[in-house]
A and B are shown apart, each in its own frame.
Chain A
Amino acid sequence: MRLFIFSFLQLGFVSHFLALTIYMKTDNYQIGTVNTYRCILSLEPAMNLQAAPYYVDLNTSLNIEIINLDTIAHELQWNDFASGVVLSPLGSITLTRTFDQQKVYALVATDFSAKTLGGSFAVIAGVPAAQRYFWNLYEMQTALSGAVANLSQQSFPSPYRPNLFSINGYDYPLNMNDTLGIVNAHVGDSVYIAVLNSGNMVHTLHFHGYHFEILSSTKNPSQVAWKKDSAPVFPQDGMLLLLIPDKMGTYPVHDHNLTAVTTTGGYSGGMMSMLNVTP
């Protein structure tokens, strides 16, 4: 069946649609001293917490085949769509989409388990390759993550008290070698930062040293085109930020909900990164 859909679309749009395969899997990961379950959508079948996004030129059309490596069903949808698709256990499905705006398209899980455990994937369109970075925000109450993964917990924990806060899978300072996210730029560069909130709560990013412009946001469109130093990133939103540094220096970026700059309750840690700007 999968083959059939794929072939049909290939026949119809041979010269326009590129093929992309995404693997989806929930697994246990070690982040420093912290152990947590996490659902990952990745271009590689060998899962990695630092799952990269997929960059496309404007007006690219993709046939995206999503292969579920889990033994439970999942649901997925684009975060700007009203409905999604069901992915059967160990099954697959193919989605077709044309990416015609400069923005962060987010494919997000909507079933309880995969959504809670951060299942999401970003397709980033129309962003120049020279200076582009990706920050995938994710927080979890790790003690509950196993029960969410194996479906023994099927409703959102209340109270929710996350103890792990991460960017691209790692908490500060483990993320200091994160090639996807650590900004290394020069004064005057146009730096594009794609932010995907795979977590379950709003994270407010605060930049030290600079203001940034919000180029796009699906969940918070009212702040598009605003220049800010602190801005909320809503769950399952993809935002595109533009930073043009006006001076050199090393400046922190962090969630200003200060419970989030911690790891298992210790400071400093969690959702913090650095901007490195040289002349």
Chain B
Amino acid sequence: MKYLSVLFLYFFFQSSAFFAQPITEYWLQARMNGVVTLDNGNDVQFWGFGDNTPPNPGNKVFVPGPVLRFTQGDSAIVHFQNNSPEMHTIHFHGLDANQANDGVPHTSLEIGPNLTYDYKFKCTHAGTFIYHCHVLTPLHVAMGMYGLVIIDPSTGPGTLHTNTPVYQQEYAFLSSEFDLDWNNNPISPGPFNLFEANYFMLNGKSGAQLHDGDQDIVSNVGEKFALRLANIGYGKTTFSWPNSIDAQLILSDGRPVPTMPNVSEVSLYPGERYDLLLNGNIVIDSFLTATYYDLRNMNLIGTNTVPLKIGDVAITENAHKGFRIWPNPTADFFNVVNPLALPIEYHMINLEGKELQHGILAPGNNKIDCALGSGIYLVNIDQSSDFHKLIIR
């Protein structure tokens, strides 16, 4: 009994220490029944993570999974539910979680079918991070079980790091690859050293899919935009952009880069992240280019481009005012975080400009149901120029 009291006190103080910081929670589920449409129109199966927020959890997973966004100083709780017939975990790559929350089966624990686990970690540094399943990692990562974690500095969104310049727009790209033979036959893939990347993705899209509008990088002359780049693939991904754009490297792996040098391209090896601040000097209509290399011989094996447009008027549709929408893409609902202390109106419109629904966003998180069918929609905050693109699949 005495030991129980001691234990109770221990956990009480542990938990009070944990909860002394603001808590941000997410609910994620894993499923092994995802289907994604490839650039060539064919469907292929994948395993992935999806939103699982109560009381109406979704039933779909996405590649990549939902972006998890926190603020530096947050205590993070990610409620994980395994809705699949096999073991899974979540490893928070670069977040330096303690051993119990590290998501490695043989040093932490794995989560069985239909079981849950609450992963907890402290958001000690701003930057871009990755989460991924760490069970039979060469297969589970190859099958699509990953997503991005973004941590804003304690001052909130709009800068990559405390005391670095403000950005007006922000774009995040997670590079990854499929070996489609594995996706088509995940029961007996391998040998696992023979992953042969043959489908190359940014945010789960490839080729012409990256030109359908929802990944466009749009900024204006004289404005700064942030690029958050991450690589969960097996090879090297090199990102490059037009010469007329100045780019400064601010963070790598969630830590400030000494001297924060100007760079003309960056190469990300597996697991690396680079956060950059870019500044368009002239009007251009060009591309961000991602090239993929096989590390075994450095052969170039794939290329993707994303439209990159620097305009001369303030028509950017992704202006980041601190409102965030997640999960995105989604199925039939989304959450909007209102960072203001006041309720504010939102309007949801389609790409033809027709308003489909509207409502009030209370301060904090707002869950909004939407039965609009798959497509691209814009969520407009307070009838301002603050538009957020929302994809419903």
Contact = CB atoms under 8 A, between A and B. Distances in A.
Indicate, yes or no, whether A interacts with B.
Answer: yes
Interface of A: 156, 158-163, 165, 201-202, 204, 206, 208-211, 223, 225-232, 247-252, 255-262, 264-268, 270, 274
Given A251-B107, A257-B270, A211 B193 contact: no
Given A208-B91, A208-B102, A261-B137, A226 B191 contact: no
B257 interface: yes
A265 B192 contact: yes
A227 B253 contact: yes
Give the interface SS of chain A, mostly helix, strand, loop or mixed: loop
A262 B296 contact: no
Interface of B: 91, 93-94, 96-99, 102, 104, 106-107, 136-139, 141-142, 190-195, 234-236, 252-255, 257-258, 269-273, 295-297
B193 A226 contact: no
Given A162-B193, A258-B195, A265-B194, A204 B137 contact: no
Given A259-B195, A261-B137, 8 more contacts: A209-B98, A211-B254, A226-B253, A230-B94, A230-B253, A232-B269, A250-B107, A260-B193
Task: List 7 tightest A-B contacts by C-beta distance, closest first.
Answer: A265-B191, A230-B271, A249-B99, A256-B271, A256-B270, A232-B269, A227-B255
Given A162-B193, A226-B255, A258-B234, A252 B269 contact: no
Nearest to B141: A258
Contacts of B234: 257-259
Nearest to B270: A256
A163 to B, nearest CB: 5
Contacts of B99: 209, 248-251
Nearest to B106: A268
A262 B252 contact: no
B191 A262 contact: yes
A209 B108 CA distance: 12
A204 B102 contact: no
Contact of B296 (A160, A247, A250): A160
A78 to B, nearest CB: 23
Nearest to B102: A208
A229 B141 contact: no
B104 A208 contact: yes
A262 B270 contact: no
B142 A258 contact: yes
Contacts of B253: 211, 226-230
Contacts of B252: 223, 226, 228
20 contacts: A161-B194, A201-B296, A204-B272, A208-B102, A209-B102, A227-B253, A228-B255, A228-B272, A229-B93, A250-B99, A256-B269, A257-B234, A257-B269, A258-B270, A259-B194, A261-B137, A261-B138, A264-B191, A265-B193, A267-B136
Contact of B138 (A206, A208, A262): A262
Contacts of A255: 270
A211 B98 contact: no
A208 B106 CA distance: 13
A262 B269 contact: no
Contact of A163 (B142, B191, B235, B254): B191
A230 B297 CA distance: 20
Contact of B269 (A165, A202, A274): A202
A260 B296 CA distance: 10
Nearest to A230: B271
Contacts of A268: 106, 137
Given A209-B99, A252-B104, A262 B193 contact: yes
B297 A159 contact: yes
A247 B99 CA distance: 9
Contacts of A165: 193
Given A228-B252, A265-B191, A267-B138, A206 B271 contact: yes
A155 B91 CA distance: 40
A227 B297 CA distance: 27
Given A159-B296, A211-B253, A258 B98 contact: no
Nearest to A232: B269
A259 B193 contact: yes
A265 B107 contact: no
B208 to A, nearest CB: 28
Contacts of A250: 99, 107
A170 B282 CA distance: 54
Nearest to B272: A230
